[in-house]
Every structure is written in structure tokens, then in C-alpha cells.
Chains A and B, each alone.
Chain A
Amino acid sequence: QKEVEQDPGPLSVPEGAIVSLNCTYSNSAFQYFMWYRQYSRKGPELLMYTYSSGNKEDGRFTAQVDKSSKYISLFIRDSQPSDSATYLCAIGGSSNTGKLIFGQGTTLQVKP
């Protein structure tokens, strides 16, 4: 079993739709949960960063962590064509030293 599982998609939605992206993980010791966005041939950029459980909102983006289920989600409201990218979940251990385990990434396409 992989430490982090993420459906690679692709996921295609119309502009304005609500997008739900998800990952599951296996090790309950993980404490740091991130979502990165990666455009083609570019390095990943951090979107959301959550420590432990709970929700975090930033503009159109909401990250949720359910540690009891080992399940993390990223919601994108009012999706835009510019949101088309690959979204990677990443988890970190008990101390966030930047050593991360990444999911496979979900490719999202938002059609105008």
C-alpha cells in the first residue's frame, strides 16, 4: 500500500463548478498536510497548508483534514480555466522539515 493515494484523474469540469480533490494516507503519525498546484513543466507551488485536523479556507480554496479517516480534501469553488493544472497532495511527518511524501497528483481541466 502506498503511503499516499490520490486518483490521477483526469478530472474535467465546466467553468464555475465546485471541484473536489482527495487523498488518503496510511500513517496516522503524519501531522502536516499540503496541497500543491503544478502547471506543466513547472515546479509545484504551495496552495494550502494545514497542521493536524480541521478546515482551512483561502479565497476559493478550502482544505479539509480528517485524521480519523486519514482523508484529506481540497475544494475549489467557482472554478476557472486558469485552475487547470495538476494538484498534488503532500504530507509531512511529526516535524515539518520539508521532507514530504506526495500523492500521484490529479490533473484538472476546467473548460470555459
Chain B
Amino acid sequence: GAVVSQHPSRVICKSGTSVKIECRSLDFQATTMFWYRQFPKQSLMLMATSNEGSKATYEQGVEKDKFLINHASLTLSTLTVTSAHPEDSSFYICSASVQGEEAFFGQGTRLTVV
């Protein structure tokens, strides 16, 4: 299957700072990328959908000003957690797909805000 690389795999940051997570499709061009969040022992919850060159669509309850998503190219989407707080600590996972095809997941980023 296709490869989606997510970086960093783990990050610890201080409360009030911002953190950027990158999601890259390495061997295909992704028209759409998705960002999920997973709390311990819970399922993945979709946060937002981003299409290359357009604004992301956020799911209900997700603050777009806090979770900034940029999908500047067909191989890269970034999620920036702004002014992070301890409650933002979670496992963030991206997936990438070509329209109408299956989505491939990155390996996830574990964010810890202290």
C-alpha cells in the first residue's frame, strides 16, 4: 500500500506554545487529507478534512482557530495546535487519500502538553 509519513512521532511542549505536525504522502498525490484525534482507549475521532488548495472543513465541536490546518500541496498537510493546553494531549493521526480511493494512515503523533 501507499505510504503516509507523519512527523514528529512524539512531541512534548509547554502549555501555551504551538506545535506543528506534518503529514506527507510519500509515493502518491493526496487530493484529500484527514486529521483524527484519539484519546487513550478510545476510537479515532475525525477533526477535519482538508483538500489541497482550499480551506479545511472542521467537524462539529473542533475549534478551527485552535487547530490550524494547511494543505499547501498534494503531498503535505500540516496541523498546528495553537496555544496548547494539557487537555490537548492526545494521539493525532492523519490519513491521505486520492478521491474515491482508500485512505492510508500515518503512524500518528503523540502530543503531551506539560
Contact = CB atoms under 8 A, between A and B. Distances in A.
Interface in A14-64: 34, 36, 41-46, 49
B110 interface: yes
B97 interface: yes
A10 to B, nearest CB: 10
| Majority DSSP secondary structure for residues of B touching A | strand
A97 B99 contact: yes
Nearest to B99: A97
Nearest to B45: A102
A6 B43 CA distance: 10
Interface in B29-48: 32, 34, 36, 41-46
A98 B108 contact: no
B93 interface: yes
Given A8-B41, A44-B93, A88-B43, A100 B103 contact: yes
Contacts, number: 60
Contact of B102 (A6, A42, A96, A101): A96
A88 B44 contact: yes
A46 B1 CA distance: 9
B34 A43 contact: no
Nearest to A105: B43
A68 B93 CA distance: 32
A98 B44 contact: no
B101 interface: yes
A100 B93 CA distance: 13
B105 A99 contact: no
A40 to B, nearest CB: 11
Interface of A: 6, 8, 34, 36, 41-46, 49, 88, 95-105
25 contacts: A41-B110, A42-B108, A43-B93, A43-B105, A43-B106, A44-B44, A44-B93, A44-B105, A46-B105, A96-B101, A97-B32, A97-B49, A97-B99, A97-B100, A98-B32, A98-B95, A98-B96, A98-B97, A98-B102, A98-B103, A99-B34, A100-B103, A102-B36, A102-B45, A105-B42
